Amino acid sequence: MKYINLLMALCCGLIIACSSEKKEDESKNVIQNYPVVLPAVLDTVYTKEYVAEIQSVQNVEIRSKTKGVIEKIWVDEGKYVAAGQTIYSINNSALRLELAKAEAQIKTILAEDKTLEIELENTKKLVENKIVSKAEQAMVESKIAVNDAKIQEVRTDIEGIKLQMSYSQIKAPFGGILNRHLLKTGSLVEENTLLTSISNNTEVFAYFNVSEREYLDFITKKKTSDLEKVDLMLANGERYPFKGVIETIESEFDQETGNIAFRARFANPDKILRHGATGKIMVNQSAKGVTIIPQKATFEVQDKTYIYVVNAQDIVEQRAIVPIVRLDNTYIVDGVNPSDRIIYEGLQTIKVGEKVKVKTVNFR
């Protein structure tokens, strides 16, 4: 009896095992359903963003042109200074002594000159009376010529000293905002010492780099579109209230990056923008007949973007694509045909080579 019960138990186990294997095989053969989308081909307008560096239309370093001690700073850093306004006064006591010495020297020479002129007049009379020879007159005239040359030399020295003294008053080359004072009152400066810099921020330049492809698109479309006008997004995420104009392009591409620099000019009446700031240039661009797919249908592997496509035999294939522009929830892409059926959902569970059932849905 025991043997009969054991045999019946073994038979039941085998039947259950076979049934489970059969169900498992059947589950493997079930074809899964996935929603798919068809790429959209349309005309659109989108905004392209570029990192921009802001520079003042004028920004120069202010350096000392003479040696001395900073006596006074007339305008505080960060303040506006008018063109020609004094910023620094440098002590020029040594130059004043040189000037006084040169002026005293020229007075002495001028006195000698007068004495020689009197001597020349007397010598001429003596020559007329044949008391002395003409050689004596020539010697006096030669002394006067040498003296005149000395006068000219000292006068040149005086002009040079006065010019050096004028450098002790350092003035703004144009109206603008002063940067930080690198040296304070009482500091000793040498000739060509950097003191500060000044920026004219009435207008600013925004420099940004574009690829060769975008450059060619810009050149092609610039005569028939509004691409020259651009917006600026500030670092705090706010849009700058004034539009800029692309006015020039550099002459060469950067060989390392393959980019070329554009320059846009912006008005800056409120002096919000400062030299060295950053932002994003926003260029509105139109695109005709471009292919668009949802971002949701894409995935990335090692910095490359892929999609799953269902072929004519309803088999899943993986394909690499090139996103050209990212819009709100979509990509403008290369590498996709309008008839491609792209898996829209379930990307985490699908397998390449799997046979599937599909249902077309609208992603827009």
Q: Spell out the SS3 assignment of 144-176.
A: HHHHHHHHHHHHHHHHHHHHHHHCCEEECCCCE
For 240-290, the pLDDT digits (tens) are 999 999 999 999 999 999 999 999 999 999 999 999 999 999 988 777 888
Q: What is the mean pLDDT of residues 61-79?
A: 93
Q: Does residue 90 surpass a pLDDT of 80?
A: yes
Tell me the pairing of strands 68-73 and 229-234: unpaired
Q: What is the pTM of this model?
A: 0.66
Q: Where are the domains of the chain?
A: 30-46+290-360, 47-57+197-286, 65-89+170-192, 92-167
For 198-239, the pLDDT digits (tens) are 999 999 999 999 999 888 878 877 654 455 789 999 999 999
- What is the rounded distance in angstroms from the CA atom of residue 169 to the CA atom of residue 87? 8
For 38-47, the pLDDT digits (tens) are 999 998 888 8
Angle, helix 134-166 to helix 93-128, in steps of 10 degrees: 160
Cα 154 vs. chain centroid, distance in angstroms? 51
Q: What is the mean pLDDT of residues 292-317?
A: 93
Highest mean pLDDT of the ranges 75-84, 164-173, 320-329: 75-84
How high is the mean pLDDT of the chain?
86
Instruction: Give the model's pLDDT for residue 12.
Output: 57
- What is the rounded distance in angstroms from the CA atom of residue 331 to the CA atom of residue 308? 15
Instruction: Give the model's pLDDT for residue 26.
Output: 46
Higher pLDDT, 54 or 162: 54
Q: Does residue 322 surpass a pLDDT of 80?
A: yes
Report residue 197's pLDDT band, with 50, 70 and 90 as the boundaries. Answer: very high
Q: What is the mean pLDDT of residues 278-305?
A: 90
CATH 1.10.599.10 assigned to domain 30-46+290-360? The reply is no
User: Which residues are CB-contacts of 230 (< 8 A; sequence separation ≥ 6)?
Assistant: 206, 243, 244, 245, 246, 264, 281, 282, 283, 284
Question: Per the structure block, which two tokens stand in for 124?
Answer: 């001429």
Instruction: Give the model's pLDDT for residue 288.
Output: 83
Residue 99, amino acid: L
Instruction: Give the model's pLDDT for residue 27.
Output: 47
Instruction: Give the model's pLDDT for residue 224.
Output: 47
Q: Hey, what long-range contacts does 92-97 have (CB within 8 A, 24 or more apart)?
A: 92/66, 92/68, 92/164, 92/165, 92/168, 94/68, 95/66, 95/161, 95/164, 95/165, 95/168, 96/165
Residue 211, amino acid: S
Superfamily of domain 47-57+197-286: Efflux pump adaptor protein, beta barrel domain (2.40.30.170)
Question: Per the structure block, which two tokens stand in for 174?
Answer: 């144009």
Higher pLDDT, 259 or 99: 259
- What is the rounded distance in angstroms from the CA atom of residue 270 to the CA atom of residue 240? 11
